[in-house]
A and B are shown apart, each in its own frame.
Chain A
């Protein structure tokens, strides 16, 4: 596994896409229209997707795009946080940090939703630990053992504290 300098001209395809007028801004050299040069710049597709689910809108664009995804409309507490986030522009922490918080809240909502449907999420399977077990067993076992040890250790410490408290209770 040695690194050797190659003669690039012997590689298939070497240089075939080089532009003779290439400069560091290529492909910006391609004609670029200003909005003012494009009388049609406000052009929109003729049909618009009907807004039959709640779609949050960036305040940096006035309308709903002609098509949009509707995979997971805002729900519950996470949805409320998301609606709040969309009061701020994309250049503001007030937009992104609440969204990240909403994502975490949403995870808990997902578990509650699963339980509500009588389904206990199989977190071991969802985390794909079977792959770790197959391809990374030693490290995986060590990691799980550490987690177990820390858990048991914490329980012992907590119990010991309780004993201590009890000692001084008369």
Chain B
């Protein structure tokens, strides 16, 4: 089968690889029909996530047709078209029982902090991902969800990560009716977080990024205010204070993570020297621009090593900081409802369709922010759905 193949920082290709096999009675094998490249794949692509091994296949956002199931799989059957949440979750452990599917304790041997994630380095369990014609899906009774009748698979594939992550970002921000919400990062997740903030009753939503094309997209898609931190302001923290009568935003969402631009020291120590787990610029801005007693919600991906965070201000300001990988499975019923009722229109985020054979160009296009790319979708020679 054809699969994306990581060869080193900024080097990927499509290679023939062996077919995945059932390894556990609750496994399924899925023939992938849609697979996205995610902004968080770029952390892997750039070589910033420890234990990303040469030969891995990335891809944690995919849907596909069930080809084969293990002996204990009862919830899905061969021929079902399923969307596969990015978390590998057992559904039975202490954490899964509380709906924390993003924190499963039985899906990752190689780290205790993070659960298993498809195609996301050995630090997240060492699973091959869905940027391939076929994928092994463990715990097939838990994650994979049959795509509802009439739902466009383009919408379904975004329910595997982007929509639930954006939604959970807004949920974790503890938005009260009328709150001013600031979102750092106008990538697909930031845009979705801005959109979902309205669902929790925000009174004002502001998104901040440095790419005009992304800001324009966000302004239209999420009905929010959008500002360029390089052009519209000297200092984003002061800018937000000015916008909020010098009080600070009620809630701030960090949808950037370790690839943040905008601070030379952070770039050198974090992104270049890898002495920090990426650049914590967005985190600094978030902590410093939220009001006292406010909430900072973090969905931007940070690496596992140390970050230089203004922890003193977290204390001084009495902040609540919440972050997590989205527990996709917990949120899916509500989000499917929202998609079906037209409250959220996920597929409108997709700007590019790239054949799997051209995966290297897809990664380059997305990471270099070429051709106004918001969200690239990989399409498959073997799939005609």
Interface footprint category on B: 35 or more
Measured between beta carbons, the chain B residues less than 8 angstroms from A5 are 204, 225
Q: Does A66 contact B106, Cβ atoms closer than 8 Å?
A: yes
Set B23, B25, B56, B202: member contacting A72, Cβ < 8 A: B56
From A15-23, A145-153, A162-170, give the one contacting chain B.
A15-23
Kindly supply a per-residue 1/0 record for chain B positions 326-361, scoring 1 wherever the CB is within 8 Å of any chain A CB and 0 otherwise.
000000001000100011100000000000001011
CB neighbours of A96 from chain B (8 A): 50, 303-305
The answer, yes or no, to whether A123 is at the interface (CB within 8 Å) is: yes
Please report the C-alpha to C-alpha distance between residue A36 and residue B129 in the assembled complex, in whole angstroms.
36
Q: How far is the CB of B327 from chain A (nearest CB, A)?
A: 10
Contact in complex: A11, B198 (CB < 8 Å): yes
Q: Which of B47, B203, B224 contacts A103 (CB 8 A)?
A: B47
Interface residue ranges of B47-75 to A (CB < 8 Å)? 47, 50-57, 72
Within the complex, the shortest CB–CB distance from A27 to chain B, in Å, comes to 6
- Complex contact B94–A41 (CB within 8 A): yes
> Which chain B residues in 185-210 approach chain A with CB under 8 Å?
196, 198-205
Q: Are A35 and B126 in contact (CB under 8 A)?
A: no
Q: How far is the CA of A100 from the CA of B271 in the complex (A)?
A: 13
Count A interface residues, CB 8 Å.
85
Chain B, Cβ-Cβ closest to A18? B201
A12 adjacent to B342 (CB under 8 Å): yes
Docked CA distance A12–B345 (Å): 11
- Beyond A13-B338, A38-B97, A125-B13, whether A103 also contacts B370 by CB under 8 A is no
Cβ of A45 and Cβ of B127 under 8 Å apart?
Answer: no
The CA of A74 and the CA of B99, in the complex, are separated in Å by 33
Question: Residue B385 at the A interface, CB < 8 A?
Answer: no
- What are the residues of chain B within 8 A of A33 when measuring CB–CB? 94, 97-98
Q: With an 8 A cutoff between CB atoms, is B24 at the interface?
A: yes
Mask, B98-133, CB within 8 Å of A = 1, is 110000011111111100100000110111100000
A152 nearest CB across to chain B (Å): 24
B227 within 8 Å of A by Cβ? Answer: yes
A65 x B304 contact (CB < 8 A): no
Q: Is the CB of B109 within 8 A of A58?
A: yes
Report whether B23 and A50 are in contact in the complex, using a CB–CB cutoff of 8 Å: yes
Choose from A17, A93, A97, A127 the contact partner of B11 (Cβ within 8 Å): A127
Are B92 and A43 touching (Cβ within 8 A)? yes
Query: Judging by beta carbons under 8 Å apart, are B92 and A109 in contact?
Result: no
Taking a contact as CB atoms under 8 Å apart, the answer to whether B343 and A13 are in contact is: yes
Q: Which residues of A sit under 8 angstroms from B98, Cβ to Cβ?
A: 30-33
- Give the secondary structure class of B's interface: loop
Residues from chain B with a CB closer than 8 A to the CB of A26 are 171, 174
Is B163 part of the contact surface with A, judged by Cβ < 8 Å?
no
Shortest distance in angstroms between B30's beta carbon and chain A's nearest beta carbon?
15
Known: A16-B199, A72-B126, A132-B364. A67 touches B11 (CB 8 A): no
Knowing A13-B343, A49-B24, A131-B361, the reply to whether A121 touches B128 (Cβ < 8 A) is no
| Cβ distance A117 to chain B, nearest Cβ, rounded Å | 11
Q: A33-B97, A72-B56, A110-B54 in contact; A6/B223 too (CB < 8 A)?
A: yes
Residue pair B338, A67 in contact (C-beta under 8 Å): no
Within 8 Å by CB of B343, from A12, A45, A104, lies A12
| Interface stretch (choices B2-10, B78-86, B150-158) | B2-10
Query: Is B380 part of the contact surface with A, judged by Cβ < 8 Å?
Result: no
In the complex, what residues of A have CB within 8 A of residue B13's CB?
A: 121-122, 125-126
Q: How far is the CB of A45 from chain B (nearest CB, A)?
A: 5
State the Cβ distance, A30 to closest chain B Cβ, in Å: 7
- Given A43-B92, A135-B365, A14-B199 contact (CB < 8 Å): yes
Asked if B23 and A99 sit within 8 Å, CB to CB, the answer is no
Q: Which residue of A lies closest to B58 (CB)?
A: A71
Give the complex CA separation of A132 and B360 in angstroms: 11
Minimum distance in angstroms from A54 CB to a CB of chain B: 11
Residues of B within 8 A of A138 (CB): none
Docked CA distance A72–B122 (Å): 8
Please name the 7 residue pairs, one residue from A and one from B, whose CB atoms are nearest each other, closest first: A128-B364, A69-B126, A69-B127, A107-B8, A24-B174, A110-B54, A99-B50
Given A71-B57, A71-B128, 6 new contacts (CB under 8 A): A13-B343, A24-B295, A33-B94, A55-B109, A100-B274, A107-B7
Using a CB–CB cutoff of 8 Å, the interface residues on chain B facing chain A are 7-13, 23-27, 47, 50-57, 72, 88, 90, 92-94, 97-99, 105-113, 116, 122-123, 125-128, 138-139, 171-172, 174-177, 196, 198-205, 216, 219, 223-227, 274, 295, 303-306, 320, 334, 338, 342-344, 358, 360-365, 368, 370-371
Could you show 10 A-B contacts with beta carbons less than 8 Å apart?
A: A3-B226, A3-B227, A13-B344, A18-B177, A30-B99, A49-B23, A58-B111, A90-B304, A131-B361, A132-B368
A residues apposed to B, CB below 8 Å: 1, 3-6, 8, 11-18, 22-27, 30-33, 35, 38, 40-41, 43-50, 55-58, 60-61, 63-72, 74, 78, 82, 86, 90, 93, 96-97, 99-100, 102-104, 106-107, 109-111, 113, 121-123, 125-132, 134-136
